[in-house]
Amino acid sequence: MTSTVRTYLTRLLPQLIALTIILAAISIIFPGFLNLQIQNGRLYGSLIDILNRGAPVVLLAIGMTVVIATKGIDLSVGAVMAICGAVSASLITSGHSLAETLLVTLAVGILCGIWNGILVAVLDIQPIIATLVLMVAGRGIAQLITEGAILTFNDPGLIYIGSGSFAGLPMPVIIWLVFGVLVALVVRQTALGMLVEAVGVNREASTLSGVFTPVLLVAAYVLSGLCAAIAGVIAAADIKGADANNAGLWLELDAILAVVVGGTSLLGGRFSIAASVLGAIIIQSINTGILLSGFPPEFNLIIKAAIIVFILVLQSPRFRAAFQFVSIPRAAGKPTEREAK
Amino acid sequence: MKFVKALASATILAACTFGSASAADLVVGFSQIGSESGWRAAETTLTKQQAEQRGIDLKFADAQQKQENQIKAIRSFIAQGVNAILLAPVVATGWDEVLQEAKDAEIPVILLDRTVDAPKELYLTAVTSDLVHEGNVAGKWLVDTVAGKPCNVVELQGTTGSSPAIDRKKGFEQALAGKDNLKIVRSQTGDFTRTKGKEVMESFLKAEDGGKNICALYAHNDDMAVGAIQAIKEAGLKPGKDILVVSIDAVPDIFQAMAAGEANATVELTPNMAGPAFDVLDTYLKDGKEPAKWIQTESKLYTQADDPMKVYEEKKGLGY
């Protein structure tokens, strides 16, 4: 048991160190950063903001991790968020119950995933192109649903998902924590995770050894679509409206970045959901830190890029090899992935 | 040759309408950019309404955000021999040739909402709002409202580098210049969206002692203000009272917030650009008098005293 914990910690060490450095740096620039207090029966503070604002990217990153582990990529998640936000807003405003709304919305997300999955697994289209289709078309579909305007709603149940709180934590945080743990358990307590990795490393070999790859691939994109649907509902509920033009805009890139910062190779194979979640939290910490720092907005993207480059350089095998004597113990998965290239 | 004949007959037709001086027989072509935002949808609705009220036959062409579609539409308007053309240009450059064709056909072109980089004699006039003035109106309202009391202002900027963000910031700062009681303590971009408006406002509240240091919020558009209002409420403060909220655009949702006492003022970017355009056209066709090259639309200030619910009902159906 202790050895599993140790393996986990070793795997997550680079991300944990990066996160600690970033949090420490922000609290130097902005002293009140780590303060937490109870307000209106819920925890209140910048750290909670990071967990809460990071919710959409964390959810997208969970799905993206599994897709990337199959050597795929899902560019459509931002657009699927917009579609699902629009679907949920239009259903709730046309008088459907909350349960119906959520069920249909999640079903739409799953449907988007099946579409992507079929393009990739059955028609054998390269994932980047296959999902680009829905990335472009999806926003148009969302705009058709909302008729180009921001569709606002006042249903307290749906709003609760975005800005309510449970056990002192904002609902979005509860949702991604529970969902993340569920997905991690399903893929790691069964052989699913290993099969996904096998498909990612060598699809043909896996098929030949009896893995039913098409179903597995479709399932990965379905998970990604489901994650995007949940993220879309949260994003819409947060602002009490579905903004088809802006919901989830460019978030697919943040999600991919989160997976990469989390140390999962874009070439497929070994993956860690926990590391991707940490990656997403790192990205959100940078965003929140920049907002708190009070720098002029022109610097936002430059600062973000500089920090990300720094983290990625730290993770690069060449850099680590050069600084072996100061480097931290690293996960066993890394070198094999490198060799796989 | 056929084309020239068509042109000639069009000019004769036009000349006849000039003579009769009645708007009822006017045919006007309108090349709209496309449906890029709620505001533009409202502009299209209002243009159609205005034309109907005046008995003008409006020929509408949606360009789907493409300049070549707009150029095609203008050429087709010229071929149809319309009396005038309204153009909301998608980009600023590349209009010289087609505008010259319209001028050769003696069809006046009026630019709506945006201007172009072309010689001024190629179009009749441009009807646009003054972005700097909008920021100025918002700033003046705040200066008058706080009436000399010390006030820390936080600003939600539009998309970094966009002209509304630059100009609305400039106008607001001009209004605050020399007023030492008002200070902009924090200014960040909220990308003109509700989500970012809410997120950035959350960080402002944390950074300024839970919001106790903030007396007013200035947002470059209403959507960011709507997001920020939610953040203020979730922080346990009262938007509109603890923190004054002033923004620009006057979209329907901000009037709901004003009716609830959660927003204080908004400056209208009117979607009725066609009204002034038709007025100018009417005088021009009647008297042949050239109007000024720029017609500034009114940047009207709405506050809680202006019966926000009534304005909301009026604006709701415009397609925002």
- Residue/partner pairs of A192-200 with CB below 8 Å, 24 or more apart: A193/A271, A196/A66, A196/A69, A196/A70, A196/A220, A196/A271, A197/A69, A197/A268, A197/A269, A197/A270, A197/A271, A199/A70, A199/A71, A199/A268, A200/A68, A200/A69, A200/A70, A200/A71, A200/A267, A200/A268, A200/A269, A200/A271
Among residues B43, B99, B105, which one has the least CA distance to residue B273? Answer: B43
Residue A43 · residue A241 · CB < 8 Å: no
> Tokens for B170?
């400039």
Give CA B24 to chain center in angstroms: 27
pLDDT digits (tens, 9 = 90+) for B170-198: 999 999 999 999 999 999 999 999 999 99
d(CA A76, CA A136) in angstroms, rounded, equals 8
Q: Are residues B218 and B95 in the same domain?
A: no
* Predicted local confidence at residue A8, as pLDDT: 84
| Residue B161 to residue A255: CA distance in whole angstroms | 26
Q: If you compute the radius of gyration of chain B from its CA atoms, what whole number of angstroms results?
A: 22
How far apart (Å, rounded) are the C-alpha atoms in residues B257 and B148? 26
Structural contact between residues B157 and B173, judged by C-beta atoms closer than 8 angstroms: no
Does residue B146 lie within any of the structural domains? yes
Tell me if B295 is assigned to some domain.
no
pLDDT at A1: 53
Percent of chain A with pLDDT over 70: 94
Q: Is residue B51 part of a domain?
A: yes
Answer whether B95's CB lies under 8 Å from B89's CB: yes
Report the alpha-carbon distance of residue A20 to residue A179 in Å, rounded: 24
Q: What is the mean pLDDT for each group of 10 consecutive residues in chain B (320 residues)?
A: 48 43 75 82 92 94 90 96 94 93 95 91 94 97 95 95 93 96 96 94 93 96 96 94 97 95 96 94 90 94 95 87
Which amino acid type is present at position A3? S
- Could you count the other beta carbons within 10 Å of the beta carbon of residue A167? 9
| Chain A residue closest in CA terms to B225 | A239
Do B264 and B281 share a domain, yes or no? no
Higher pLDDT residue, B34 or A225?
Answer: A225
Give the separation between CA A210 and CA B272, rounded to whole angstroms. 66
In this structure, are B81 and B201 located in the same domain? no
Consecutive H or E run containing B157: strand B151-157
CA A159 to the chain's CA centroid: 22
* Within a domain: B248: yes
Q: Do B99 and B215 have their domain in common?
A: no
Q: What is the pLDDT of residues A161-179, one digit of tens each?
A: 999 999 999 999 999 999 9
Q: Are both B101 and B76 inside the same structural domain?
A: yes
pLDDT of A99 strictly over 80: yes
Closest CA to A264 of A19, A62, A5: A62
Neighbours of B282 (CB within 10 A): 17
B18 and B88 fall within a common domain: yes
Q: Which residues of B fall within a CB distance of 8 Å from A45?
A: 206
Tell me: do B312 and B239 sit in the same domain.
Answer: yes
Question: Among residues 135-174 of chain A, which lie with CB inside 8 Å of chain B?
Answer: 143, 147-150, 152, 163
Residue B296 inside a domain? The answer is: no
Q: Which residues contact A273 (CB under 8 A, 6 or more apart)?
A: A62, A65, A66, A180, A183, A184, A187
Pair (B103, B159) in one structural domain: no
Question: Which of B191, B195, B253 is the best mutation test for A, with the most CBs of A within 10 A?
Answer: B195
Sign of torsion, CA B201 B202 B203 B205?
A: positive
Q: Do B319 and A300 touch (CB under 8 A)?
A: no
CATH of the domain at B9: 3.40.50.2300
C-beta atoms of B206 and A245 within 8 A: no
pLDDT at position A336: 42
**Token pair recorded at residue A234:** 């949260």
Phi and psi at residue A233, to the nearest 5°: -65, -45
Tell me the pairing of strands B125-128 and B301-303. unpaired
| DSSP for residue A124 | -
Least CB–CB distance from B41: residue in A148, A163, A239: A148
CA distances from A22 to A12, A30, A304, A329 (A): 16, 12, 11, 20
Q: Write out the H or E segment, with its range, that includes residue B152.
A: strand B151-157
What phi, psi does A75 have (nearest 5°)? -80, -10
What residues are paired with B28 via a beta bridge?
A: B58, B84
C-beta atoms of A246 and B191 within 8 A: yes
* Contacting residues for A181 by C-beta, under 8 A, at least 6 apart: none
Residue A332: pLDDT over 60: no
Mark whether B152 and B219 lie in a shared domain. yes
Q: Does A93 touch chain B (CB under 8 A)?
A: no
Q: What are the tens digits of pLDDT across the range B95-131?
A: 999 999 999 999 999 999 988 999 999 999 999 999 9
Same domain, B13 and B112: yes
Residue in chain B nearest A27 by alpha carbon: B207
In a domain, B203, yes or no: yes
Residue A187 CA to residue A66 CA, distance in Å, equals 9
- With respect to residue B297, please indicate whether it lies within any of the assigned structural domains: no
Same domain, B260 and B283: no
Nearest Cα residue to B85 out of B29, B27, B46: B29
Domain count, chain B: 2
Contact at 8 Å (CB) between A88 and A244?
Answer: no
Q: Take residue B320 and report the two structure tokens written for it.
A: 């925002």
* Model pLDDT for residues B144-173, shown as the tens digit of each residue: 999 999 999 999 999 998 889 999 999 999
Contact B247, B263 (CB under 8 A): yes
Chain B positions touching A51 (Cβ under 8 A) are none
Interior/surface letters A109-123, b for 16+ CB within 10 angstroms, e for the rest: bbebbebbbbbbbee
- Half-sphere exposure (Cβ direction) of A157: Cα atoms closer than 13 Å: 12
Collect all residues of chain B within an 8 Å Cβ-Cβ radius of residue A30.
207
Look up tokens 């998902």; give the residue: A161
User: Can you tell me the distance from the alpha carbon of A292 to that of A295, in angstroms, rounded to the nearest whole number?
Assistant: 8
Contact A239 B195 (CB under 8 A): yes
Query: Predicted ipTM?
Result: 0.88
* Interface size between A and B, measured as CB pairs under 8 A: 79
Contact criterion met (CB < 8 Å) for B203 and A49: yes
Q: Which domain holds residue B190?
A: 131-269+304-316
Average pLDDT of the residues of chain A:
91
So what's the architecture of A44-296 in CATH?
Answer: Orthogonal Bundle (1.10)
Q: Is residue B233 located within the same domain as residue B275?
A: no
DSSP letters for B79-135: HHT-SEEEE--SSSSS-HHHHHHHHHTT--EEEESS--SS-GGGSSEEEE--HHHHH
Chain B contact for A238 (CB, 8 A cutoff): yes
pTM attached to this predicted model: 0.87
Can you give the pLDDT at residue A37? 87
Beta carbons within 10 angstroms of residue A278's beta carbon: 23
Instruction: Give a yes or no: residue B299 inside a domain.
Output: no
A75 pLDDT exceeds 50?
A: yes
